[in-house]
A and B are shown apart, each in its own frame.
Chain A
Amino acid sequence: MSLFWQTLICGLLLGGMYALIAIGMTLIMGVMKIINLAHGALVMVGMYVTYVCFHYWGIDPYAALFISMPALFFLGCLIQKYSINTLIGKESILPENQVLLTVGIMLVLTETMRMIFGSDYKSVHTSYTGSSFFVGDVSVSIPMAIGFVIAMVFTYALHIFLTKSDIGRSIRATAQDKEAAILMGVNANKITIITFGLGSALAAGGGTLLIPIYYLFPDIGHAFVAKSFIITILGGMGSTMGALFGGLTLGIAESFGATYISMGLKDVVGFVIFIIVLLFLPGGFKSLTKR
């Protein structure tokens, strides 16, 4: 039974951090109505920013959040303003041109990082990396617990921001109906830029929280892009709370898959859930609450 609880706790903590990354993606998806394939690459860039902070300047990864998140916010705004927004209203054969552009951006970000840091695996070793505490007979890793708590704080702060602040409300209005929002005086162009920046910042936040327990290399983004898609679809496009529950579900499912099926097949569990949800519950968890 202790194995069961161990697996559950581990999956839950991991899922909280996945959720933070996925919330960034679901925000962008909700407002832009596109899938952002560069999201994993943004996570990866955020992780490298933290790595640089730790390795060269000796800044603790959790303090580096205050550097990596603003940096990625800025990068995300630039990407949105100077590349993706220029495509709006352009005639092309495939309607998915913006999605394909995010693939190009992903390629550019990944290869830039590979050029700077090389392909080898990097990791951040803090004093608390391997340490853990016990609840009953279940051991809880300290960096995972801290990461989970910070991720939940961010999620709650974002929720307050989206429901209470002026910009947050404009973001939600644009996500619901872009034309109507424009008629109500929302500067939709500015909102898309802010949203992409915010999404990138959350991606960097998630990546930074994961870094004490993960390793780092330029291609790591692909794993995160797949995970955040699964979570976004699980939770329903554009739903913050859905993404939170989706993230927790994926974390737990992966954890159980790794314990009870096989370590190598834990990612298959996620993908199978993904396809099943796409087929039988296309609206995700969001559609369950509306009934």
Chain B
Amino acid sequence: MLKKFWFLSIIIIIAIILPFIVQSSYYQHIFILILIWGTLGVAWNLLGGYTGQVSFGHAAFFGLGAYGAGLLAFHLHISPWWGMIVGPVAAVIISIPIGLICFRLRGPYFALAMLAVGEICRLIFTEWVPFTNGAMGILTLTTFSSKLPYYYIGLVVLLLSIYTVYRLMASRAGYYFVSIREDQDTAESLGIPTTKYKMYSLIPSAFFSGLAGAFYMNYMNYIEPSIVFSLPDVSIMIIMVVILGGVATLWGPVVGAIIYVVLSELFRSSLGSAHLLVFGVIVCLVIMYMPNGVMGEANKIKKLFRRKGTHIGSEMT
């Protein structure tokens, strides 16, 4: 426990002093992207990883959060930072009816229903031009010229989401979530109100997806429906990030986000548009050979390295 505490403190301290070590604003931009994707991954992981409800439509919540912030600036001309409150709340409010409808379905049916929800949101926000400005998108002004404030706000958002998931999973609800994932019928027969606890899992998940969306809006200053509600670039990419890092692990989504963002930036300069191809190949290989992701198979990987040093016979006993 003490070891874990020190490990965690070191990570947080590194995260805090990192932008002072790396002063280039390009690298700081990459760090901020990692924070956004990490938050999204952690949020998806709560519903998809721990509770086992694989959602193909989390772009709906991300986009609602982003538009919650953007529309405030667009219609009321107030700072989009208020969207950091309004955006996630909007995502939660919309998530409740979605959950009540979609949680009646299971497994692949649920995944498909969420896919439809995400696409419906994208189409509505594209077509409802008077309210959302349609495909022209929403443009706001930059608040800070330096990247540092964004970095720290993003870091707080990410740590908040990780802490929330950590506390949830350590509580009674967390055990309920895992039992729903492992066997829903058994969970129900043991007296767990499964639909209610799926909702308890969806609401924080939608909240943090919306928060990430609102932060994205404030950082990028420009959103349009085809960016924030995108099926391949948001909904599916979140899943890929979490799968890569490790499903149902606390730090897996963050590791996945680091791999995804670093890889895509690395290959974007050398391979151009093929950077997603490399990422896709890596995802396929990870699913085939490390089905629980990098963090999920961490023990196996550790063992692999340790085995080289120690006597093989000690493994047998």
Q: Which residues of B contact A86 (CB under 8 A)?
A: 288
Residues in B neighbouring A185, C-beta threshold 8 A: none
B180 in the interface (beta carbon within 8 A): no
Main secondary structure of the interface of B (DSSP, over half): helix
User: CB distance B277 to A226 under 8 Å?
Assistant: no
For residue A286, give the distance in angstroms from its CB to the closest CB of chain B: 15
Are A104's CB and B284's CB within 8 A? Answer: yes
Chain A count of residues within 8 A CB distance of the other chain: 45
B38, CB-defined interface residue at 8 Å = no
Alpha-carbon distance between A111 and B109 when the two chains are bound, in angstroms? 27
- Tell me how far the C-beta of B259 lies from the nearest C-beta in chain A, rounded to whole angstroms: 14
Q: A93-B248, A93-B296, A94-B54 are in contact. Are A101 and B120 (CB under 8 A)?
A: no
Interface flag for A95 (CB, 8 Å): yes
C-alpha gap A87/B287 in the complex (Å): 8
Asked whether, in the complex, the Cβ of B108 is within 8 Å of the Cβ of A274, the reply is no
Q: Is the interface of A mostly helix, strand, loop or mixed?
A: helix
B210 at interface (Cβ–Cβ under 8 A)? no
Task: Name the interface residues of A151-170: CB closer than 8 Å to any CB of B.
Answer: none
Given A115-B273, A233-B112, A274-B116, A264:B54 Cβ within 8 A: no
**Measured CA separation A262–B128 after assembly (Å):** 11
Residue on A with the closest CB to B277? Answer: A111
B277→A115 contact, CB < 8 A: yes
* Bound: A104/B290 CA distance, A: 14
Given A94-B247, A95-B107: A108 and B284 interface contact (C-beta under 8 Å): yes
| A-side contacts of B281, CB under 8 Å | 108
Complex Cα spacing A107 to B283, Å: 9
B39 at the interface (CB under 8 A from A): no
- Across the interface, A279 reaches (CB within 8 A) one of B104, B231, B248, B280, namely B104
| Distance in Å: Cβ of A12 to nearest Cβ of chain B | 24
Contact B127 A275 (CB under 8 A): no
Asked whether A265 is an interface residue with its Cβ less than 8 Å from the other chain, the reply is yes
Least Cβ distance of B115 to chain A in Å? 7
Residues of A within 8 A of B280 (CB): 104-105, 107-108, 111
Q: Mark B99-114, 1 if CB is under 8 A from A, else 0.
A: 0010011011101110
Are the CB atoms of B292 and A96 closer together than 8 Å? Answer: no
Q: Which of B49, B232, B240 contacts A104 (CB 8 A)?
A: B240
Query: Which chain B residue shows the least CB distance to A229?
Result: B112
Asked if A264 contacts B113 (CB within 8 A), the reply is no
Any A CB within 8 A of the CB of B243: yes
Give residues of chain A (255-291) contacting chain B, Cβ–Cβ below 8 Å: 262, 264-265, 267-268, 271-272, 274-275, 278-279, 282
A103-B236, A275-B101 as given contacts; A268 in contact with B123, CB under 8 Å: yes
- Closest chain-A Cβ to B293's Cβ sits at a distance in Å of 9
Shortest CB distance B96–A (Å): 16
* A104 adjacent to B283 (CB under 8 Å): yes
Q: Does B239 make an interface contact (CB < 8 A)? A: yes
Instruction: Indicate if B148 sits at the interface (CB-CB under 8 A).
Output: no
* Contact in complex: A115, B104 (CB < 8 Å): no
B54 neighbours in A (Cβ, 8 Å): 94, 96, 99-100
Taking CB atoms, residues of chain B closer than 8 Å to A175 are none
Residue A35 at the B interface, CB < 8 A? yes
A264 B287 Cβ-Cβ under 8 A: no
Q: Judging by beta carbons under 8 Å apart, are B247 and A93 in contact?
A: yes
Report how far A34 CA is from B54 CA in the complex, Å. 13
Tell me, in angstroms, the Cα distance from A10 to B276 when the chains sit together: 37
B298 at the binding interface (Cβ < 8 Å): no
Query: Contacts A91-B291, A93-B49, A265-B127 known; A101 to B273 CB distance under 8 Å?
Result: no
By a CB distance below 8 angstroms, the chain B residues around A272 are 120
Q: Let me know if B153 is at the binding interface, CB within 8 A.
A: no
B62 is an interface residue with CB less than 8 A from chain A: no
Given contacts A35-B112, A222-B232, A262-B127, contact A87 B277 (CB under 8 A): no
Tell me which of B105, B116, B232, B274 has the highest count of chain A C-beta atoms within 10 A of its own C-beta.
Answer: B116
Which residues 77-113 in B have Cβ within 8 Å of A in the complex? 101, 104-105, 107-109, 111-113
Interchain CA distance A148-B50 in the complex, whole Å: 46
B279 at the interface (CB under 8 A from A): yes
Partner of B292, one of A92, A104, A282: A92
A279 touches B296 (CB 8 A): no
Among residues 16 to 68 in chain A, which have CB atoms less than 8 Å away from a CB atom of chain B? 34-35
A114 at the interface (CB under 8 A from B): yes
Residues of chain A within 8 A (CB-CB) of B273 are 111, 114-115, 119
Decide if B101 touches A90 in the complex (CB within 8 Å).
no
Q: Is B224 an interface residue (CB 8 A)?
A: no
Whether B52 is near chain A, meaning CB under 8 Å from some CB there, is yes
Q: Output the least CB separation between A107 and chain B (Å).
A: 3
Chain A residues close to B by CB (< 8 Å): 34-35, 83, 86-87, 90-97, 99-101, 103-105, 107-108, 110-112, 114-115, 119, 219, 222, 226, 229-230, 233, 262, 264-265, 267-268, 271-272, 274-275, 278-279, 282
17 A-B pairs within 8 Å (CB atoms) are namely: A35-B111, A83-B284, A93-B49, A94-B49, A99-B108, A104-B283, A104-B284, A107-B236, A110-B276, A111-B274, A115-B274, A226-B116, A233-B109, A264-B123, A264-B127, A265-B123, A279-B104
Closest 6 CB pairs of A and B: A107-B280, A92-B291, A111-B277, A104-B284, A108-B280, A104-B283
Extra contacts, 7 of them, besides A99-B108, A101-B284, A265-B123 (Cβ < 8 A), are A93-B296, A94-B247, A100-B243, A101-B287, A107-B280, A114-B274, A229-B115
